[in-house]
Amino acid sequence: MHIFSFRLALLIYLLGIALLFPGCATLPPRPDLAHEPALPPADSGLLAMLAERFTGANGPEASGFHLLIDAREALDARLALIDLATSSIDLQYFIWKGDAVGLLLFDRLLQAADRGVRVRIIVDDIWLGSTTRNLAALNAHPNLEIRIFNPNPSRDSFVGGFVRFLSSFKTLNQRMHNKLMIADNQAIIVGGRNLGNEYFGLGSEFNFLDMDVMSVGAVVEESSNAYDDYWNDNAVYPLTGWMAGLPDNTLDEVRRGVSELLDEHRPQLISYSLAPQNWRTWLATIEENLLVGSAHFLQDDPVQIDGQSYRLVDMISYISGPVKEELLLTSPYLIPVETSLEGLQRHADKGVSVKLITNSLASTNHTLVSSHYKKYRRPILATGTQLFEFHNQPSGTIRNWAEVEPVKAPFISLHAKVIIADRQRCFIGSLNFDPRAIVINSENGLLINSADLARELAGFIEQLMEPENSWRLTIGKGNRIYWQSAERTIDAQPARGGLQSFVDLFGSLLPIESQL
């Protein structure tokens, strides 16, 4: 996710001013905490029963998968895992907004903690709006602990935090883009969604078409171990380190604040239950439709040293290396790095059909990314890759997946990150194909070997590439690039208006590609 593209542009203009201010705040010493592992898999409850039946039917090495494409189902799945948990919930997210979705999920987590479920939360700091004081108050709950990835020592001051970001750019620029949810150590959700309205069909400015996968079985243990690697790493800062020096702010005060804000958002949440449910019917449907295969949970190390940690990308090469017939890829933000173009060319030379879909200028929520992607259109097409750009006004079917009543946003943006090889193997996770994801951020996801799942996922990607949902790019008369959709063929990139086109032109002049 490239949410701080705007910030990077802003930094260029404010750099001279900001450097006039000192950024001298420091983090309190990190508490010397004992290594804390995940709790064992729950041995009671509906999730434990589901996992036991699945393993009994498919063996201890198998995993089961259910794609979460529809925005409403994706949020329901998270609410369900929270409500069904009996012993533990572990969450790891890049963005957790204080909007209707963010509040609803946090309210349910508080209720789970109240009934005795241990809740652990890792969240990246860069877009975490809550004050340290409020976070520390929440952290006072005996069953809930929050840890922050790579926190800004001046996080509670806008000016101070901005200056510190500049003065410690190399360190604070390294962000945790991971997304993971684990319930009872028996079920997980992995994919592209952060926690905020636009990821679950309730955005007022735009909504994302996104992708997660829910899984049970053998891969859950791998995911849990991976979570523990972050939870216990020095880059993840416990709030207990701040609590001694903060003014009093009781858990009850913050709890009341969450409840009051959630009440204000009730009109947006008419499609969701604000109270915990039993979810038996929902879970039975999931169990009946689980697709079976094997999987591995992949992630980058918590801290990358000088951009040289390529663990996840190297392991994904298992998918792209032995491809024989077809490679399908989606990336909402696309800027080829290093040998990416050469890799596409090698596939084409071997007769592999490569299809790639990304956002058009009209559908992107980050115009600056598109400003630097556009110069790669010709080189990508020159490799023989079929290139598609998502339409900001897709078909009704796609809109129905991306939006939830009562919302109808001005446009839809693609946010799914998927690789599918030969309709046998696939990767679903947080990884975009751009410098920030490959070199700077940490990422995670599931590498899955399941022909049934890969075929279902390929069908979804092919539907996105249909003329009513995407523009297909070709080189035509006069060596010009043409955009062809169901409605028309044009020779200029589609945009949402003149202002966006101006920002796109201006953005292409900024020397920020390595940060996108």
CATH of domain 5-287: 3.30.870.10
Q: Identify the weakest region by mean pLDDT among 144-158, 240-254, 279-293.
A: 240-254
Token output for 410: 């001005």
Helix-helix angle 100-114:251-264, to 10 degrees:
140
Distance of CA 389 to the CA centre of its chain: 20
Amino acid (one-letter) located at 271? S
Q: What does each C-alpha distance from 313 to 66, 242, 332, 365, 404 come to in angstroms?
A: 24, 35, 17, 25, 34
Distance CA 197, CA 106 (A): 13
Q: Is the pLDDT of residue 204 over 50?
A: yes
pLDDT digits (tens, 9 = 90+) for 318-371: 776 689 999 999 999 999 987 889 989 999 999 999 999 999 999 999 999 999
Which segment of 31-35, 53-57, 293-297, 412-416 scores lowest on mean pLDDT?
31-35
CATH class of 295-515: alpha beta
What integer is the mean pLDDT of 484-508? 95
Q: For residue 289, give every residue at least 6 positions away whose Cβ sits within 8 Å of its Cβ, in sequence order, or none.
A: 66
pLDDT tens-place string over residues 121-168 = 999 999 998 888 889 888 889 999 999 999 998 888 888 888 888 888
Query: Using an 8 Å Cβ cutoff, are 21 and 159 in contact?
Result: yes
How far apart CA 380 and CA 377 sit, in angstroms, is 5
Predicted pLDDT of residue 307: 46
Q: Find where tokens 């509906």 sit.
A: 46
pLDDT for 366 equals 96
Does residue 125 contact residue 149 with C-beta atoms inside 8 Å? yes
pLDDT band at 185 (very low <50, low <70, confident <90, very high): very high
Tokens of 482: 């043409």
β 291-299/118-124 pair status: unpaired
DSSP 191-248: ES--BSGGGGT--SS-EEE--EEEEEETHHHHHHHHHHHHHTSTTEEETHHHHTTSPP
What is the SS3 assignment for 67? strand
Q: How many CB atoms lie within 10 A of CB 305?
A: 8
* pLDDT category of residue 13 using cuts at 50, 70 and 90: very low
d(CA 25, CA 273): 43
Alpha carbon distance 501, 191 (integer Å): 31
Going by the DSSP 8-state scheme, the letter that residue 355 receives in this structure is E
58 in Cβ contact with 217 (< 8 Å): yes
Q: Choose among 428, 442, 169: nearest CA to 309.
A: 442
Statement: residue 112 has pLDDT above 60? yes
Place of tokens 């990821």: 199
Residue 430: alpha-carbon gap to chain centroid: 5
CA distance 298 to 311: 8
Comparing 149-158, 371-380, 455-464, which segment has the lowest mean pLDDT?
149-158
The ranges of the chain annotated as CATH 3.30.870.10 are: 5-287, 295-515
What's this model's pTM, rounded to 2 decimal places? 0.94
CA distance 474 to 387: 8
Q: How far apart are CA 120 and CA 182, in angstroms?
A: 10
Helix, strand or coil for residue 256?
A: helix
For residue 252, the 8-state DSSP code is H
Which of 24-33, 235-244, 262-271 is predicted least confidently?
24-33
